[in-house]
Amino acid sequence: MAVAIAADAKASEVACDRQRSGRAINTVSLAASVVQRGQPPVRGGQPPRTTIAAMAASGIEAYHKDVARLAPFPREGKAMRVKECILTGLLAAGMSLGLAACGQAGGTNAPATDANPPAEQAANNTGLSTSEQEAFYSTPITDEIFARIKGKSFKDDCTLPREDLRYLHVLHKDKDGNVHEGEMIVNQHIAEDVLDILRELYKNGYPIEKIRLVDEYDADDERSMEDNNSSSFNFRFISHTNRISNHGLGLAVDINTLYNPYTKVVDGERIIEPITGEPYLDRDASFDYKIEKGDLCYTLFIEHGFEWGGEWTDRKDYQHFAIPDEKIAEWYPNNVK
């Protein structure tokens, strides 16, 4: 019962934290109440003692794996997630104790049932842990997020409604396999697509060094690209027009920007962005973070309806994945050439 009481108190604390981030923890609260009542959270009766022991071992193992996985997170929210992982471990152990008590009280003749409910089994089939899955989410632009981007990527002359944007929270791995939290703002029309793409890249270990809001660089694209940052929304008009650019609409995504530069020859002069990306214009060379036609990053974006700037003929933009102009014209008919 001490475990149950501690779990209930921790569940309340975590609930407050998760409400601030816009997500609920009904599962945690339910699990805590299950432990207090001593009722098995399985269908069809009480599990046999062998199942109880397996669940206890599984709970402890999951706890250690989650803490190890989340320990490298250097960004804000680390404390909340570590607390949540510890709570998950406590609840798993507590539920196992509650189940054991039920088994002792009711005998051992109850029919065996699946230790994992169908929803949990389905989650396991994604190849990601529950904590990893929950780290991938999309929300509208809250007041707190808006305060971070106002006057930067969301400039004073921004004509795109704030309601058209979505904030994405993701995980990604660098070339050494280290796990990092990432943030990106995109257009609502592509939010779920980009979330799916980044989830698959993470699951398959495709390296992305940084995914930060461009506002951390004061919305300076050159600084962001030189730091090899991957981003999307940054409002601006196309030069000498009143037409919003693809990035200004949040309908383009740049990945591993330093190693996949933009280049074009204008009046005999080669333009390179970022300028520090010049060594990586040799696309036959081998180096980390390079995007190539046919690799996983390219394949996923193409499957989701994007086009790749690396295939353009008048210029090359190896970092750039964008929604085709024809589709943009459907969503924003007033923003045409």
C-alpha pair distances (Å), 283 with each of 208, 287, 290, 317, 318: 18, 9, 8, 12, 10
- What pLDDT sits at residue 240? 80
Interatomic CA distance for residues 337 and 335, integer angstroms? 7
What residue type is 213 in one-letter code?
A: L
Determine phi and psi for 176, rounding to 5 degrees. -95, 0
173, 205 in Cβ contact below 8 A? yes
- What pLDDT sits at residue 103? 47
The SS3 assignment for 103 reads helix
C-alpha pair distances (Å), 269 with each of 37, 263, 266, 272: 74, 10, 5, 10
| Pairing, β 316-317 against β 320-322 | unpaired
- pLDDT, tens digit (0-9, with 9 covering 90-100), for 204-226: 999 999 999 999 999 999 999 99
- pLDDT, tens digit (0-9, with 9 covering 90-100), for 47-91: 444 444 444 445 545 545 554 555 555 454 444 454 454 445 544
pTM, two decimal places: 0.67
- What pLDDT sits at residue 239? 83
What are the start-end ranges of the E strands in 141-279? 165-173, 179-187, 210-211, 229-230, 252-254, 262-266, 269-273
H helix and E strand count, the chain: 12, 11
How many C-beta atoms surround the C-beta of residue 52 within 10 A? 23
- What pLDDT sits at residue 266? 93
What is the sign of the dihedral through the CA atoms of 215, 216, 218 and 224?
negative
- What pLDDT sits at residue 21? 44
- What pLDDT sits at residue 126? 76
- What pLDDT sits at residue 336? 75
Helices 26-37, 78-106: inter-axial angle, 10-degree rounding? 30
CA 87 to chain centre: 22
Those residues of the chain that have pLDDT short of 50 are 1-57, 60, 63, 67, 74, 76-80, 82-83, 85-87, 90-91, 93-94, 96-117, 119-123
Residue with the two structure tokens 């407050």: 16
Interatomic CA distance for residues 100 and 48, integer angstroms? 9
What is the full DSSP assignment across 159-181?
Answer: -S-GGGEEEEEEEEE-TT--EEE
- Residue length of the chain: 337
